[in-house]
Amino acid sequence: MEEPIFYGTESAYAFQYRDLVPEKYWADDDWMFKTKGFTSGQAMTMAKTMCTLMDEKGTRLFAESRTSQAERETWMHAFEFSLEEVAARSGIALDVTEAFFHAFLHTGDNAAFKELLDFNEVAARPLLPTDRGTVLLFSHYGIYEALYESPFF
């Protein structure tokens, strides 16, 4: 077993990544907007929106499952987001939301990730595409860490 399994911890809490994104990137916002299509503040707002929606959807599905015995397949919807949904809820323009989705969308096959210490593409691009034109995001931590570590890449 490799040492990181036993001694490696997450480098920060999700809320620390979230709150430090604007401080880390405010001086780069002009470049980020020209190159990526969004600012650090807009990125944080969209990520927070997705996390809030995930919590709301999960809470609603849990409550519904207690009364209607919802099928397990319906739980995936708590982690699925459309451009329109995130743009409307965040108040950020659709084209900016689309740029954010594009920047953090996993489009590869992650073939380089074979062992524990290998780079995991999904850590840098945690939005997983679906065949319905939506994306899946499974954890708050994933999007906040990617925002903090990956915008330039």
Over residues 106-125, the mean pLDDT reads 82
The DSSP line for the chain is --HHHHH---SS-HHHHHHHHHHHHGGGHHHHHHHHSS-HHHHHHHHHHHHHHHHHHHHHHHHHHHHH---GGGGGGGGEE-HHHHHHHHT--HHHHHHHHHHTB--S--TT--STTS--HHHH--BEE-TTS-EE---HHHHHHHHHH-TT-
Structure tokens at 51: 């996390």
Does 152 score more than 90 pLDDT?
Answer: no
Q: Where are the domains of the chain?
A: 11-109+117-149
Q: How far apart are CA 17 and CA 47, in angstroms?
A: 11
CA 53/CA 47 separation, integer angstroms = 10
pTM for the model: 0.83
Average pLDDT, integer, range 51-68 = 86
Question: Of the given ranges (9-13, 41-45, 55-59, 145-149), which has the lowest mean pLDDT?
Answer: 9-13
Which is higher by pLDDT, 75 or 129? Answer: 129
Mean pLDDT of 131-149: 90
Give the type of residue at 48.
K
CB 99 within 8 A of CB 127: no
- Return mean pLDDT, the chain: 85
Percent of the chain with pLDDT over 70: 86
